[in-house]
């Protein structure tokens, strides 16, 4: 079933007396459990799209419907609740807290959302059993990214939003991370949305949304997405 719908979404930024239209009448839907890659060159509007979907910024006009709720009508307080409940963010540079251990980074979410988190079990599920008490600096880049994925999925959000999740990693580790995200989509019915400029990631996706100059260029369904392993 449909989890996300963008209807005629416009996003304009004001800088001085100049208005820049970063999102220009964008329409698409994303199904529950779908593995979606949003592809586009630098400046296309990928970050803008993630920020709108993640409730970090508000659209200028149009509708953003998630689980039947109209996100575009939410005030700041409602957006904060929406983010906590629905959205797990995964960033290119992990955004882990350096003076907290892996398990403390994962369990941090307990205080933010009212949900019980078994940090150890979540770390095990991303292949990090035995690393629970290490600090980020003691982990490799791939391991740090897995901690950040564990943190994002721990609260079981409706969607995982990933900004270039393999961007800072060498290709071997990038494949492992992509494999983990694909597994989460296939086996746990997590909706995974990746924005990237890397066309190779598109082969693994159920759906590829290409954007350019703030507009949808193409939406393609992969009947047989490439299994990453
Ligand atoms: P990337 O292309 O790696 O996703 P960003 O999304 O951070 O990088 O930035 C994309 C473009 O948007 C850049 O040209 C950047 O200068 C511009 N940009 C990002 N944030 C702002 C801002 N707050 N004000 C003005 N321009 C911005
Ligand atoms: P991408 O992530 O694909 O690189 P962005 O969504 O960051 O693209 O940017 C899309 C356009 O919006 C760019 O022209 C960028 O400069 C502009 N932009 C992004 N964020 C801001 C901002 N906060 N203020 C002004 N312009 C912005």
Q: Give the residue-averaged pLDDT of 134-145.
A: 94
Mean pLDDT of the chain: 92
Range with lowest mean pLDDT among 111-115, 148-152, 181-185: 111-115
Ligand 2 pocket member 42 (CB < 6 A): yes
Best residue for ligand 1 mutational test, from 18, 19, 42, 50 (most atoms within 8 Å of Cβ): 42
Q: How far apart (Å, rounded) are the C-alpha atoms in residues 131 and 120?
A: 9
Q: For residue 114, give both structure tokens.
A: 């009212």
Give the pLDDT band (50/70/90) at residue 214. Answer: very high
131 has pLDDT over 80: yes
Q: Which atom in ligand 1 lies closest to the alpha carbon of residue 48?
A: 6
> Would you give the end-to-end CA distance of the chain in angstroms?
28
Angle between helix axes 171-188 and 141-153 (nearest 10 degrees) is 20
Best residue for ligand 1 mutational test, from 43, 91, 162 (most atoms within 8 Å of Cβ): 43
CB 133, CB 103: distance < 8 Å: yes
167 has pLDDT over 80: no
Residue nearest to atom 10 of ligand 1 (CA): 43
Ligand 1 pocket member 130 (CB < 6 A): no
Ligand 2 centre distance from Cα of residue 11 (Å): 10
Give the pLDDT band (50/70/90) at residue 26. Answer: very high
Which ipTM score applies to this complex? 0.72
């Amino acid at each position: 079933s449909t989890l996300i719908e963008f209807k005629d979404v416009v996003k304009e930024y004001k800088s001085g007396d100049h208005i820049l239209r970063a999102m220009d009448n964008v329409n698409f839907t994303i199904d529950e459990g779908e593995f979606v890659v949003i592809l586009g060159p630098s400046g296309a509007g990928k970050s803008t799209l993630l920020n709108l979907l993640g409730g970090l910024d508000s659209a200028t006009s149009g509708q953003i419907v998630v689980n039947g709720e109209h996100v575009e009508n939410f005030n700041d307080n409602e957006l904060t609740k929406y983010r906590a409940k629905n959205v797990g963010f995964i960033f290119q540079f992990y955004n882990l807290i350096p003076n907290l251990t892996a398990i403390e980074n994962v369990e941090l979410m307990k205080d933010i959302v009212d949900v019980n988190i078994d940090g150890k079990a979540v770390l095990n599920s991303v292949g990090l059993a035995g690393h629970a008490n290490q600090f980020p600096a003691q982990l490799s880049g791939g391991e740090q990214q897995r901690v950040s994925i564990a943190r994002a999925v721990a609260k079981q959000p409706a969607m995982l939003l990933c900004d270039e999740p393999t961007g800072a990693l060498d290709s071997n580790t990038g494949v492992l991370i992509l494999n983990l995200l694909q597994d989460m989509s296939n086996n746990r019915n997590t909706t995974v949305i990746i924005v990237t400029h890397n066309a190779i990631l598109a082969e693994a996706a159920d759906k590829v949304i290409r954007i350019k100059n703030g507009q949808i260029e193409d939406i393609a369904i992969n009947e047989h997405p490439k299994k990453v392993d």
